[in-house]
Chain A
Amino acid sequence: MSAWWALLAIPAILAIHWFRRALPRRTVSALWLWGERHAAPVSGRRRERLIDRTSLRWELLAALALLLALVDPRWFDRPPARHLVVVLDTRLSLLARRQDGLTVAERLTQDLTTHFATLAPDDRVTVITTGTPPRVLVGPAVPRDQATLGLTTWKTDQTWHDLAPALDLAREVAGPTGSVLLASDRPDPAAAHVGTLLRGEVRPTAGLIAARWRPGDLHLRLAAWGQPQRRELRVTGPAGDLVRRTVDLVPGHPLDVNLPLTTTTPIDIHLDGPDPQSADDHVHLLPPQPRQVRWWCPEPGPLRRALEAQDGARPAPPAEADLVVGPGPRATGAWRITVEPGDAPPTPGPFLARSGHPWLEGIDATGCRWAGGVPLEHVPVEEVLLAAGTTALLREAPDHHLIIHADLTKGTLAEHPAWPALLAQVVANRHAHLPGRDDRNLDPGTVVRLVLPPGAEALVVDDGGILVPGADHAVLLPVLERAGLHTLGIRRNGLPEPWLTISVSPLDARLGDLTPCLSGDHPAPAAPGSTATAGRHPLLVLLAAGLAGLALVASWRAQRREDGP
């Protein structure tokens, strides 16, 4: 231990070299590109820096070599520290209960704790949880005790997702010398070249694999794996049971159940019965909230008749209307349809439609005799949606304004199937631009486009993430991987307001299927340099002592040169 006193030689050498010396100053933008020697922050500095002299280097080398020769030689016997990166699967499937009564996650926690205890004290552990994006739960590179403590915060509450991003991150964190270990319930193709700790078990299960609630109608799909099972299906609301039914489930044959449902309150669906995997035996659904397109059409005629025939649309006063027919006033954000007949002769086509425009999807005017078009040279060409020869028939003016160049009293447009289809497309597109969402129950892994209410400046997801809407006042809600309820709020005039609650379903056919599960250990491949080094060799001490002597001589010579004329 006394050999460590030799370290005092280093500050002594530095003190000797602490000269003051003025040099011209050059400003650069990347000092680190010139090397790392003597870099120090300017703030607070009161002395000149040490000059990087050859003699200083030799003297420091001599001190370090002397130290190497004198310190406890057992230091050389110790193997280098290893870095283990553990990837924890956070999917709900790990809640499946094993024969021994523990869930897969609980058993993995036990076994990982045991595994961490076998690591050397100076080994380091990083724990990463799967998901999009993957997250570093513990670390990076913390002692084993800290990693063991971090395992208690591991949650398996996420919907089915790909493990590859987490494994890629783990490989990056581990680098060329670390090793990666995946803790899961089943093998994964992305984990082909890493170690695995699998604790899943193949057991017969049953569960819900899909639930869809449309107004007045609830559709469920149930499945069993392993062996036929009899279960009780129960739908409950705030007032108690709404439906109770016994179902017989046969592996390989999913059962579809349709239930009439008129309640407007949230419901819970239970599949009662003993089941090792209970995560897919319950789902909470929010009632559908159908949004309707409110339209205003003052004049009777074919246009009004076509609008009255549309599902999901109803008449409303012009100040409240989402879709206004005619040139009258309209509310902010409302769309407009006007009929502006021209004097072009009636045309039987052929009709040329703008490719890919959402208002024209599925519209085929073949066989229609269109009267009242306008010559193309009289309208802005970039607005034309439908033309026949040199006649413009449909235009999209700015601010969602559809102009129909047609005389509905002449020609056959009002009797042609394309007429109600055109109005249906406009109404459907307007519906897609209404704020909110009809179905507030999301399937796992779904990306949702949400239009915000007028005046909303941003969408706040679960009091955390903030999404700013684009020009169409819509945001793209990223995949929410935690199953359950999520609160969406908005910011209006800088103040938060609650807006919408959505429910992310955990249901996925792969969640309940335990047949691919496996138990077993596949150790992580040994990383280069992770094996113990050879024991101490007396020659090493002699070499260090010799190096110290040579460095002292070289230092002396260098100092003579530096101090010379």
Chain B
Amino acid sequence: MIDRGAVQAWAGRLKLAVDARRRRLGNGTRLGGGPGASLEFHDHRPYLPGDDLRHLDWGVLARTDQLLLRRYRIETAPRVEVLLDASSSLGIDPRKNTLACECLLLLALLARGDGARCAIWVATDRWQRYEPQGLEARLDTLTPTGAAGFEALPGPALMPGAQRILIGDGLNPGGGPALVARLGREAGQVSLVQILTPEEQDPAACGPVILADVEGGEQEVVRDRTLVTAYRERLARHLAGWDQALGGRGAGMMRCSTAEGLEGAVAAMATAGLVHP
């Protein structure tokens, strides 16, 4: 069950860090990629009869006798998209599911508080769009299902330029770069809030066992120290791939442990710069 009080308390003390250039201006707009109407200079183009004389670059005219028009960048409203990977691996530990839902709810509240448009997508065995109204009740009843998750499902209808935040364990066999290339395409920023259990982060050796994947498949192994060391190395390489894919595209990867709960997750998000007091 989500600790609504704790989420609301954090939501009241934090702000979502949206790119300053994408903040609302006046009536709620942000800078886009193409030419339009704003105060941000975009480029010049030759003057054509009928163009607005207010946008003529008089300085260039005085210096070169060329009629050039100043074009400005278009303004759009900021948009935050939160994508939750609620495949079966999220339900391997109830605390993992709860912490993921709490992070999602917190980010949705912060986006709403910042005046941004917030779209919430949840991937189980298919993509479902959650509306901000009644979000808490839907998250309370969310049951992680399916083996698809982010990697196997075709991407939902995402908006170019949005700040995209992925929530999940990030343990996809295809690796972070492929997923970021697909789900982060045309995003303004993209980052991952990674939720892991202590067992996933640092498993212990326990001898011969059948390892059954909660999303399908199993394997007989001798889980000795050699195998555990190999697991840690693969996990480290996998996480390095995520770090590399997310580098320079926003807050990066925020590692959260179910042992540390929401407080630890908030600390990770604040350290990465996704939220700030």
Contact = CB atoms under 8 A, between A and B. Distances in A.
Q: Is chain B found bound to chain A in the same assembly?
A: yes
Interface of A: 21, 23-35, 37-43, 48-52, 133, 210, 212, 214, 217, 219, 221, 256, 258, 354, 356-359, 362, 396, 400, 432, 445-449, 466-468, 470-472, 474, 476, 478-479
Contacts of A354: 26
A470 B76 contact: yes
B50 interface: yes
A31 B200 CA distance: 11
Nearest to A215: B50
Contact of A356 (B28, B39, B217): B39
Nearest to A472: B77
B133 interface: no
A478 B231 contact: no
B215 A34 contact: no
B26 A210 contact: no
Interface stretch (B12-20, B103-111, B204-212, B247-255): B204-212
Given A467-B159, A476-B32, 14 more contacts: A26-B206, A29-B214, A30-B213, A35-B227, A40-B218, A41-B217, A43-B216, A49-B219, A356-B26, A358-B37, A445-B34, A449-B32, A470-B79, A476-B161
Contacts of B230: 34-35
Residue among A31, A356, A472, A474 having the largest count of chain B Cβ atoms under 10 Å: A31
B34 A210 contact: no
A521 B54 CA distance: 49
A554 to B, nearest CB: 19
Nearest to A28: B211
Contacts of A476: 32, 34, 74, 76, 160-161
Contacts of A356: 25-26, 39
B220 interface: yes
B276 interface: no
Given A24-B209, A26-B206, A42 B217 contact: yes
B211 A26 contact: yes
B187 to A, nearest CB: 13
Given A26-B206, A447-B33, A31 B218 contact: yes
B26 A357 contact: yes
A476 B162 CA distance: 12
A52 B79 contact: no
Q: Is the interface of A mostly helix, strand, loop or mixed?
A: loop
Interface string B135-176: 000000000000000000000010111000000010101000
Contacts of B28: 471-472
6 contacts: A26-B206, A28-B200, A34-B221, A34-B227, A51-B220, A357-B27
B32 A447 contact: yes
B117 interface: yes
B277 interface: no
A28 B34 CA distance: 47
B274 to A, nearest CB: 22
B35 interface: yes
A194 B211 CA distance: 47
- The 4 A-B residue pairs with the shortest CB-CB distance, nearest first, are A447-B34, A29-B89, A31-B213, A30-B171
B49 interface: yes
Contacts of A258: 49
B241 interface: no
* Highest count of chain B CB atoms <10 Å: which of A28, A356, A446: A28
Interface in B30-51: 32-37, 39, 46, 48-50
A265 to B, nearest CB: 20
A468 B227 contact: no
Contacts of A472: 27-29, 77
A219 B49 CA distance: 7
B95 interface: no
B161 A214 contact: no
B200 to A, nearest CB: 6
A131 to B, nearest CB: 14
B76 A23 contact: no
B129 to A, nearest CB: 10
Given A27-B212, A210-B48, A357-B26, A35 B217 contact: no
Contacts of B34: 445-448, 476, 479
